[in-house]
Amino acid sequence: MIEELVQALHFKSDDADFLKSWKEHVSQGGSLSKDLILTDQQEFQRRLSALTQDQKNSVLELTNGNVDEFSTLINAFDTLRNMTPMPFVDEKLVEANDSMQKYGVYKYENMLSSDQLANIIGFVDTIGHHLGDDLYHSGKVNLHVNQAGQVVHLSNSKTATDTSELRLQSKNMGFFPPGTDDIASHPHFLAIPRNWYRNPSAQLFRATVSWLHPAPDSHIGWHVDSVTNVMKAMVVLDDITLQNGPMYYAMTSHACENEMVKDFKHKNYLWVSPNTRVGDCPRIPDEEVLEGNKPKTLSYDPAVIKGNVFEKSVTTAKRGDVIFFDTSGLHSGNLCNEGLRRVVMYSFDNQGTFLNKFLSVHGKN
């Protein structure tokens, strides 16, 4: 039922009754080739609004109740998305997309020039300068700017215990950090997520400036952000070594293939809607990772998570590198043992793909 519905939703046809036209197509021996896949985002949204409450309930019943039905849903969307032609193509973009599809992560070396980073680094330097010692305590930066662009308030909210990360979020500021336009003007910066989403108009969603400093605890262990396709780009402002808290990404864990990954994502999926939520958002428990969630010594060795071995992508990088990743894959924030790690984490459209739109209508995104 799920696969049929997902395919019908994707079948390009002029008939308003997409289910009927898909059934006709199948009864004539037809399948979905790449030139028959719908790419019109608005038409997809229209089809979603045509779904009946019964259809929506039965999807939820199946996918909430059973990890295999849940994976079928995710995989049906992923397969068709990957089959859809990319909107923007050149050699680098194909390389990026191949890596995303295979591993869930792409490290784009030397992406941004000093010129393209000058404004954002100026901004981040200025905040750091004004915060002084308060830069070295975790919390949220409160920044209020008046109409004339003058700073009227700047402080660190400071969390009770120091968990190493200070964040400045666009969702709190109400604007993206200055210098974002320079970054987004790189011809590949938006093209990579737009290709990954197969949506030429997907937008920047949020930005978080993140300062990581040495502290006894790290801000986050192994987790997924979402079961939908939300891409993030980590823009590296200072070189990242094994000493100042590189992120780990468990390569291939974005795909809903491995049984442990399926199960973990299903738990997250259940957690998303209030009526199936149990406890806190599921995280990989410390004792289920070979090195623990917060290893003191960092390495490039594979990660062993719940007995499953994953090659890691480690975000050791140079200023100007950008690491693109699908946040439905397992990744972890690590201890910063010395120095400071400054990055800007951009996230892209959480309604950007057909899967995300579909789950949104079902109260799951």
Interface residue list for ligand AKG (CB under 6 A) = 210, 220, 225, 232, 247, 327, 331, 333, 345
Residue of minimal CB distance from Fe ion?
225
345 binds, among ligand AKG, Fe ion, none (CB under 5 to 8 A by kind): ligand AKG
Phi, psi (degrees; rounded to nearest 5) at 230: -105, 125
How near is the Cβ of 353 to ligand AKG at its closest, in Å? 18
Query: How far apart are the C-alpha atoms of 355 and 364, rounded to whole Å?
Result: 10
Tell me whether residue 80 or residue 247 sits nearer to ligand AKG (CB atom): 247
293 binds, among ligand AKG, Fe ion, none (CB under 5 to 8 A by kind): none
Q: What length is written for the chain?
A: 365
How near is the Cβ of 347 to Fe ion at its closest, in Å? 10
47 binds, among Fe ion, ligand AKG, none (CB under 5 to 8 A by kind): none
Q: What is the DSSP string of 212-233?
A: E---SS-S--SB-S-SS--EEE
How near is the Cβ of 218 to Fe ion at its closest, in Å? 12
How near is the Cβ of 66 to Fe ion at its closest, in Å? 27
Query: How far apart are the C-alpha atoms of 215 and 337, rounded to whole Å?
Result: 8
Phi, psi (degrees; rounded to nearest 5) at 215: -160, 160
Tell me whether residue 199 or residue 347 sits nearer to ligand AKG (CB atom): 347
Tell me whether residue 83 or residue 345 sits nearer to ligand AKG (CB atom): 345
7 binds, among Fe ion, ligand AKG, none (CB under 5 to 8 A by kind): none
Tell me whether residue 230 or residue 359 sits nearer to ligand AKG (CB atom): 230
Tell me whether residue 44 or residue 211 sits nearer to ligand AKG (CB atom): 211
Q: How many CB atoms lie within 10 A of CB 199?
A: 25
Tell me whether residue 340 or residue 345 sits nearer to ligand AKG (CB atom): 345
143 binds, among ligand AKG, Fe ion, none (CB under 5 to 8 A by kind): none
Tell me whether residue 10 or residue 232 sits nearer to Fe ion (CB atom): 232
Q: Which helix (H) or strand (E) holds 24?
A: helix 18-27
Q: Which amino acid is at 104?
A: G
How near is the Cβ of 175 to ligand AKG at its closest, in Å? 20
H helices present in 41-161, as ranges:
41-49, 53-65, 67-83, 91-103, 114-131
336 binds, among Fe ion, ligand AKG, none (CB under 5 to 8 A by kind): none
Query: How far apart are the C-alpha atoms of 237 and 342, rounded to whole Å?
Result: 5
> For binding to Fe ion (CB under 5 A), which residues are involved?
225
How near is the Cβ of 38 to ligand AKG at its closest, in Å? 30
Tell me whether residue 188 or residue 331 sits nearer to ligand AKG (CB atom): 331
How near is the Cβ of 225 to ligand AKG at its closest, in Å? 5
Q: What is the DSSP string of 2-16?
A: HHHHHHHHHB--S-S
Q: In which order are the strands placed within the sheet that holds 331-332?
A: 312-314, 248-250, 331-332
210 binds, among Fe ion, ligand AKG, none (CB under 5 to 8 A by kind): ligand AKG
247 binds, among Fe ion, ligand AKG, none (CB under 5 to 8 A by kind): ligand AKG
The residues, any chain, with a CB within 8 Å of residue 284's CB and separated by 6 or more, are: 221, 222, 223, 264, 293, 305, 306, 330
How near is the Cβ of 167 to ligand AKG at its closest, in Å? 9
Q: How many CB atoms lie within 10 A of CB 192?
A: 24
The residue ranges of DSSP E strands in 175-226, in sequence order, are 204-212
